[in-house]
Structure 1
Amino acid sequence: MRLRLWGAALVSACAVGLSTMTAGAAVAAPSSSEPIALYRDSTIIGAVPTFGAISGLDRTGNGTYVLISTDVGRQGPARTYNATIPFTSNLGFTGGGRVTGGGTVFAPYNLPILPGGAQFEGIRRLGDGYVVASGGANQFVRVTGPIGNHVRDLPLPSAYRVSGKSGLNGQRGFTGVAVSPGDRVSAITAGGLKQDARTSARLITWAGRGTSEYVYRTDGDKVAADVLAVNNTDYLVLERGNGRAARIYWTTTRGATPVTGKKELSGREKSMPKKRIFSTAPLTRLAAGNMSGLAWGNWLPATPSKGYRSRILYIVTNDMFAGPTRVHGLEVHLPTR
């Protein structure tokens, strides 16, 4: 069964959709003609002394995940974790997540990253290694080997190079990384570059010898927190803001104006169309936490007559060592016709 390329329809149909489940009480699912995300369940990942400040996670196998901490120096060196997250289609989470191992991320020449030398915001599996994104004061997108060894830093266009009035903008810099089919790496900024409008985030993709860029416009009260590939044109973007209210949007490069190599945006560019598929707003009893990262889970058993396939989507929270690391499970319906 081939999933419908829903991004093509999104170009001409961007009506706002809402989550249709409140914490603890399911309601009837809406039409299968558009993607939606339904809240299913939540759990926590068990405590390990240095475990916390988790900013990203990605699926590595059936029920197994890699996670990365934004903390470099406070509770330990630059580090990743391996964990199992038990989830079944009928019961939801069948227990808490369990840390099973860990690793590190090295600087160029495989030197240790000094305290404060990175602020990791995302991680994805790439081949037999990983790709990670760092924001804050030291921004980069780095390809690593399976043990965190440095392979290369991906080149950034001149518009991203930091100067007094232009370039990546601190906490509005890199905030998530995605890998789409063919190992195409993309990264998203939380908001605009210094020279761009605050809500004009950029999605940059490295493919072949060059890059492509598009504008992703965040909601006025939100910043982008992570990006997850659906296919080579469509993505999920997690947005968060004050009050820890969060939204997930389905977005696409189809129909958007390429801004590849553009030093400064005019504001007239056509941004990536987006449609909200999930919001924490109706989940009044959900202990949402500071939602920071997205990852796909397993596919659920198919029912062809429904017109969609269902896949679990995980959201991880960044507690900054002030509380438990939560994992929320959503059920995403992906139209097939």
Structure 2
Amino acid sequence: MKLRVWGASIAGACVLGLASPIAVQPASATPPSGAGVSAFFTDSTTIGDGLPTVNRISGIDRTGNGSYVLIAEDVLPARFFTASIGYTSVNASFVGQPRINGGGTVLGPWFLPLLPGQAQFEGIRQSAGGYTVVSGGNNQFVRQIGPIGQVIRDLPLPPAWRPSPKSGLAGQRGLTGAAIGRQGQVSVLTAGGLRQDAARSARLLTFGKSNREFVYRTDANKVAADVLAVNSTDFLVLERGPGNLANIFWTTTRGATSVTNKKKLSGREKAMTKRRIFSTVATPRLRTGNMSGLAWGNWHPDNPFAKTRTRTLLVVSDNVGSPNRVHSFEVQIPK
């Protein structure tokens, strides 16, 4: 299926799946709080064959030109997949059918497969030495794994995040996605507030020698579904609500109140500024499915006379019992 939103732009004419020095250069500047950034839906397709082996894809990340890694939410057993997803800016559409071409099993300690209930994977990102995966649900953790799925280490969560009857990560308001910054720093986002915090007061945590925490406030009746790094301070966040309603926001930690190591939020903290760049309300005919994961594509070739740079963004839908869908967008960023 292919839908096109009025006003969507086609920038340049090249196949984005091909390696090209000009296709991967960063934008020359980052707009404050996403000012002037917009995103337009361009195309939609299915990935895999809909069989249980590739069902319930909840996370996606770019690993190279036209190459991606995906992770499944179910654990029968816990699996990740590699895939080839081609896209062309000539007519702003996918090229051929996305193809699963490899993958592996996410293992626990001692190279043992995870049993049902031991994980509910919500996101995956390529990181040094392999991947970083995030588990939500009843067993929440941030784990770095090797290229064949073996455990490298678990990243320690702050005391305020550790689950307990009255505090910490709270079930479906828990860990929902990970982001990797340009210097390799790992950030994770909760779907909503910790047990001791307001339901909409999600937290963004960036691991380091000194961790950093900020409040990300979700819209009413919505939860965060994934986070994707733009740079060290700015991110894209996917929020979803009732039915198939979904929004994509550009958000930043610049100017936000640090809540690092804060046990309980007061509610007076200044949250991360956010600006909506896409809403499914504008595309009522789009078969979105349950949008669950974000991944960058390549930069489009730069037009020196244009005021913006354009980059492809992919969104995967976790569709239980039916083929997973992948949607493409063009994100236009002021120079």
User: TM-score, normalization: structure 1?
Assistant: 0.89
Which letter does structure 2 place at the counterpart of 1:38?
A: F
Instruction: Give 1:61 shift.
Output: 1.1
Q: Quote the residue 2:138 is aligned against.
A: 137
Show structure 1 runs of 4+ deviating over 2 A.
Answer: 108-111
Q: Quote the residue 2:100 is aligned against.
A: 99
**Corresponding residue to 1:67 among 55, 66, 70:** 70
Is the aligned partner of 1:41 residue 2:66?
Answer: no
SS across alignment from 1:109: helix
Q: Contact between 1:70 and 1:119, CA under 8 Å: does it hold in 2?
A: yes
Measure, in 2, the Cα distance between the counterparts of 1:158 and 1:276.
32
Q: Alpha-carbon deviations, 1:127-149, whole Å to 9, x = none?
A: 23000000000000001111111
Q: Alpha-carbon deviations, 1:71-104, whole Å to 9, x = none?
A: 01xxx20100111111111131122211111111
Instruction: Give 1:3 shift.
Output: 2.5
Q: Quote the residue 1:4 is aligned against.
A: 29
SS across alignment from 1:171: helix
Q: Quote the residue 1:21 is aligned against.
A: none
Measure, in 2, the Cα distance between the counterparts of 1:95 and 1:220.
38
Instruction: Give 1:2 shift.
Output: 4.7
Q: Contact between 2:119 and 2:135, CA under 8 Å: does it hold in 1?
A: yes
Q: Quote the residue 2:237 is aligned against.
A: 237
Instruction: Give 1:244 shift.
Output: 1.1
Q: Quote the residue 2:293 is aligned against.
A: 293
Is the aligned partner of 1:160 residue 2:161?
Answer: yes
Is the aligned partner of 1:77 residue 2:77?
Answer: yes
Which letter does structure 2 place at the counterpart of 1:165?
A: K
- What pairs up with 1:17-28 in 2 under 5 angstroms? none
Q: Contact between 1:3 and 1:334, CA under 8 Å: does it hold in 2?
A: no
Instruction: Give 1:309 shift.
Output: 1.0
Which letter does structure 2 place at the counterpart of 1:225?
A: A
Instruction: Give 1:109 shift.
Output: 3.0
Is the aligned partner of 1:119 residue 2:144?
Answer: no
Q: Quote the residue 2:10 is aligned against.
A: none
Instruction: Give 1:277 shift.
Output: 0.3
Range that drifts further, 48-57 or 171-180: 48-57
* Structure 2 residue runs without a partner (length 5+): 1-25
| Number of positions where the alignment pairs a residue of Structure 1 with one of Structure 2 | 308
Measure, in 2, the Cα distance between the counterparts of 1:97 and 1:223.
28
Instruction: Give 1:210 shift.
Output: 2.5
Range that drifts further, 259-268 or 305-314: 305-314
Measure, in 2, the Cα distance between the counterparts of 1:94 and 1:162.
44
Measure, in 2, the Cα distance between the counterparts of 1:238 and 1:94.
25
Measure, in 1, the Cα distance between the counterparts of 2:64 and 2:233.
24
Which letter does structure 2 place at the counterpart of 1:328?
A: H
Measure, in 2, the Cα distance between the counterparts of 1:108 and 1:271.
37
SS across alignment from 2:97: coil
Measure, in 2, the Cα distance between the counterparts of 1:272 and 1:221.
18
- What pairs up with 1:174-193 in 2 under 5 angstroms? 174-193=175-194
Instruction: Give 1:110 shift.
Output: 2.6
Which letter does structure 1 place at the counterpart of 2:73?
A: T
- What pairs up with 1:260-279 in 2 under 5 angstroms? 260-279=260-279
Q: Contact between 2:27 and 2:309, CA under 8 Å: does it hold in 1?
A: no
User: TM-score, normalization: structure 2?
Assistant: 0.90
Instruction: Give 1:122 shift.
Output: 0.2
Q: Percent identity?
A: 58
Q: Quote the residue 2:56 is aligned against.
A: 53
Measure, in 2, the Cα distance between the counterparts of 1:288 and 1:273.
26
Q: Alpha-carbon deviations, 1:172-201, whole Å to 9, x = none?
A: 000000000110000000000000000000
Instruction: Give 1:335 shift.
Output: 1.4
